[in-house]
Structure 1
Amino acid sequence: MQTNFTPEQLKDPAVARSNQILRTCVHCGFCTATCPTYQVLGDELDSPRGRIYLIKDMLEAGRPADARTVKHIDRCLSCLSCMTTCPSGVHYMHLVDHARAHIEKTYRRPPMERALRSVLAAILPYPRRFRMALRAARLGKPFAGLMPAQLRAMLAFAPSRLPASSPLDRPQVFPADGGRRKRVALLTGCAQRVLDTEINTATIRLLTRHGCEVVVAEGMSCCGALVHHMGREDDARGAAARNVRAWMREVRAGGLDAIVVNTSGCGTMVKDYGHLFADGTLAEDAATVAGLARDVSEVMAELGVTPTEDVGGLRVAYHAACSLQHGQQVRTAPKTLLKAAGFEVVEPRDSHLCCGSAGTYNLLQPEIAGKLRERKVATIEETAPQVVAAGNIGCMVQIGSGTALPVVHTAQLLDWATGGPRPAALAVP
């Protein structure tokens, strides 16, 4: 793609990076075949190729974002399926992230929309605030019919019960069982710590049982992904910087073999910290942290699993989270591990398509997200599974809201197969 940025514009590192990405695109349109929003909406501007043209025009003109551009960029899931499909290697993620940051700086959203996004940014990354908000949401559920669509969507996802806060999420060290094979840090997350505390608990059991000393680092916070995808770059860098400093203290104190992430949306973000801080004083440390980041399935693939429990060949539909299969290019490890642990693994058709969760997308774009959830649930239920496994809490909540099937984290199934308790969602009545 030909671009026409001025030499002055290209002095901005973000513009220079976007220019490189735009010039990689050859207009082939392969991305349209795997873009979920294009399949649902059928609008060229709701495809990666269409959005690339909008972003190019906006950035080249150096103008504030307009309502038309904002509408189509907001509709992007950032599922990154287009990056898996693209034969030219267009790094769409960095391009759309730049566009969102530009929109946040230059576009004045309507008051209600602005307020909603501010509330989400102020609550979701903070477990205590999020827990309080979910408790308040339960009181508002009887009045959901009187509220706007986005508020109704938020109330719909509020669970009827919340697990108690887990003491395992506090800064501490969990020793390895037997001889230590690895020393790893665990990102405990923010929303996950509130919605399903058992995921971290099962992950810690799984890792320590397989010879990992697990560190929950002092000073660790949200990974920054939620605000990053809303274009709030300063907030995202602030959260990421806290994590870089917290984990580098552990690297320098006792060394780390990996930083384990069991929420794949967070994993994609942490693995990109090197890019986020490429031009700052934290560049070297951020690159080190990004290089250490691993999904829990990647670490377990290195360690290997030997099942000790008979899981009865339970039929598991594996849902490939977009942030794992497209964002991190981790596709086979979770399925291979589940099979090795004694489960029968089935994969739904169109597994490359998003379920509609996408961070805050199902709250900000509930109509499109609902259509994608219906499609995803239908393809899962076609496989007649006994349980659904996924590696991302957002996907688990999104899919779970549309099916009666139990939905659990892959780590929970691996923990059960290797000596842990049967997941509560699979408890025999």
Structure 2
Amino acid sequence: MQTTLSEASRQLPRAEEAESILRSCVHCGFCNATCPTYQLLGDELDGPRGRIYLIKQVLEGNEITRKTQLHLDRCLTCRNCETTCPSGVDYHNLLDIGRAVVDAAVARPLDQRLLREGLRGVVPNPGLFKALIGSGQVFRALLPGGLRGKLPRHVVSAKPRPTMQHARQVLMLEGCVQPSLSPNTNAATARVLDRLGISVIPAREAGCCGAVDYHLDAQAAGLDRARRNIDAWWPGIENGVEAIVQTASGCGAFIKDYGHLLRADPAYADKAHKVSALARDLVEVLREEPLERLALHSDQRLAFHCPCTLQHAQKLGGAVEALLIRLGFNLTVVPDSHLCCGSAGTYSITQPVLSRQLRDNKLNALENGHPDVIATANIGCQSHLDGAGRTPVRHWIELVEDAMSSPDTGATR
């Protein structure tokens, strides 16, 4: 696509990157065929091609309006379009650049500003988030339906983690909301890895991956969180850890982008590149291991929801499914498995109507094969889908650990 950036746009830190991405788009429209919001709304400006055109106009110096901001806000950043695009357009980075310019030029209404600042204040803060979840559970019956749906239906308490005893060691991001919404997920991960001869090194100083701030009009704050995590992990990296494991694919996708996002930072560019190179979704670690050691047995029928951040951002579509089949699980067929569930970080709160439509469509597809339980690989998707009150939704590693610890295996809980 022919592009001529305005003089002001040429002064942006990522101007050259934006221009290169715009020029790579041939405007074919294949992306619209797999865009969730375009399928729901049928508006060209609510599909990737239209949003790219809007960003092009912005960077060429045309007027920036609230309407421009609205269409960019509606994007889930699911990156399905990147999987579909025959030209390899780096859409999500262009969207980040465009959103930053638009948000700097267009003041949001007060209610939106308060909502976004509130989310940024609460979600990345594990202690505060846990306190609010606890209060919500106490007063659950008094809450409106929309808020009740954000509370976990059933919290599996974290079982004890094994002591460090193996020469093979990995770091693991604990996350910001997962310790409250699904506290046993990381504990189950540590126990499964321990069975395979891998110990998890705690790094409590590492906090939120930075994605929440970065995608809520505060890119600088998100990158500061990335730097703090790099500092927290660096001693372990220097001591030779094999990987930095993530059990939430949304966090993993963002951490794998640290190297790109901090490449112009002289103090952190090399370290960020190293962190991104070591970042592994849990499935990337387990699929290389001798899984027969786990001796699993399970009769449950599973439907696996592959999060967008796993299949489109990390290009690991089918990886968890293959691992679960290898372990003996009975997986159902899920139609349109490439489509987003509508969680998308805080999207379910900032765009609740569209998010609920996408969630209900996704659940209909997931329940098509009448599964006993739905498994997923991202805490945001897990909470969002389970909040509908239909088929239970859990992280896949907990189901693996349950089967590993069942009486049939002779293992003890």
Could you tell me the TM-score, scaled by structure 1's length?
Answer: 0.89
Structure 1, residues 187-241: CA drift from partner, whole Å, max 9, x if none? 1101111101010110110111111121121421100011111131121011111
| Aligned counterparts of 2:101 and 2:84: Cα–Cα separation in 1 | 26
**CA RMSD in angstroms, aligned pairs only:** 2.2
Tell whether 2:113 aligns with 1:114. yes
Residue of 345, 350, 357 corresponding to 1:371: 357
Classify 1:346/1:418 alpha carbon distance in 2 versus 1 (closer, same or farther; 3 Å). same
Q: Which residue pairs with 1:158 in the alignment? A: 151
Is the 2:195–2:293 contact (alpha carbons within 8 Å) kept by the matching residues of 1?
no
CA distance in 1, matches of 2:330, 2:289: 21
Distance apart, 1:9 and its partner CA: 3.6
Q: How many residues align?
A: 407
Tell me if structure 2 keeps the 8 A contact 1:219–1:243: yes
Residue in 1 that maps onto 2:164: 175
Kept in 2: contact 1:104–1:232 (CA 8 A)? no
Is 1:83 the counterpart of 2:72? The answer is no
Which of 385, 395, 405 is 1:409 aligned to? 395
Q: What code does the residue aligned with 1:135 have?
A: G
Task: Give the match's secondary structure for 2:331.
Answer: strand
Q: Of 324, 330, 336, which residue of structure 1 is paired with 2:322?
A: 336
1:46 matched to 2:46: yes
Counterpart AA for 1:257: E
Distance 1:101 1:236, change over 3 A: same
Report 1:1-400 matches (<5 A): 1-6=1-6, 9-61=9-61, 65-138=64-137, 153-159=146-152, 174-176=163-165, 180=167, 182-252=168-238, 254-280=239-265, 281-306=267-292, 308-400=294-386
Q: Structure 2 vs 1, CA of residues 143 and 59 (structure 1 numbering), >3 Å: closer, same or farther?
A: farther
CA contact (8 A) 2:307 2:340 kept: yes
Report the residue type matching 1:76 in the other structure: C
- Whether the 8 Å contact between 1:217 and 1:247 is mirrored in structure 2 is yes
Say if 1:255 and 1:312 are closer, same or farther in 2 by CA, change over 3 A: closer
Query: Which SS does the other structure have where 2:131 is aligned?
Result: helix
Contact 2:246 2:279 in 1 (8 A): yes
**Cα deviation code 1:82-105 (max 9, x no counterpart):** 000000000111111112222332
CA positional deviation for 1:420: 6.8
Deviations 1:17-75 (A, max 9, x none): 11111110000100000000000111110000011011111122176x42001111110
Indicate how the Cα distance of structure 1 residues 227 and 62 shifts in structure 2: closer, same or farther if over 3 A, else same: farther
Instruction: Please tell me whether the aligned partners of residues 149 and 388 of structure 2 are also in contact (alpha carbons under 8 angstroms).
Output: no
- Structure 1 counterpart of 2:2, one-letter code: Q
In structure 2, the residue corresponding to 1:114 is in which secondary structure?
A: helix
Cα distance in 2, alignment partners of residues 81 and 194 from structure 1? 29
3-state SS of 1:306 partner: helix
> In 2, distance between residues paired with 1:154 and 1:323?
25
Distance 1:306 1:163, change over 3 A: closer
Structure 2 gaps, min length 5: 409-413
Whole-Å separation in 2 of the counterparts to 1:391 and 1:421: 26
Moved more, 292-301 or 128-137: 128-137
* Secondary structure of the structure 1 residue equivalent to 2:287: helix
Residue 31 of structure 2 contacts residue 47 of structure 2 at CA under 8 Å; is this kept in 1? yes
Q: Which amino acid aligns with 1:103?
A: V
Q: Secondary structure at the match of 1:13?
A: coil
| Superposition TM-score, scaled by structure 2 size | 0.92
Is the CA contact 1:306–1:340 (under 8 Å) kept in the aligned structure 2?
no
Alignment partners' CA distance in 1, 2:337 and 2:157: 33
1:206–1:93 Cα change, 3 Å: same
Regions of 4+ moved over 6 Å: 163-167
TM superposition shift of 1:397? 1.1
- Paired residue for 1:427? none
Contact kept in structure 1, 2:373 and 2:393, CA below 8 Å? yes
Shift of 1:353: 0.3
- Quick one: which amino acid aligns to residue 264 of structure 1? S
Tell me if structure 1 keeps the 8 A contact 2:195–2:294.
Answer: no
Amino-acid identity (%): 40
Residue 307 of structure 1 contacts residue 417 of structure 1 at CA under 8 Å; is this kept in 2? no
Q: Which runs of 5+ in 1 are unaligned?
A: 146-151, 423-429
Could you list the per-position Cα deviations for residues 95-154 of structure 1 after superposition, in whole angstroms to 9, with x for gaps in the alignment?
A: 111122223322211111110110000000111111122234457766655xxxxxx634
Q: CA deviation at 1:159?
A: 3.5
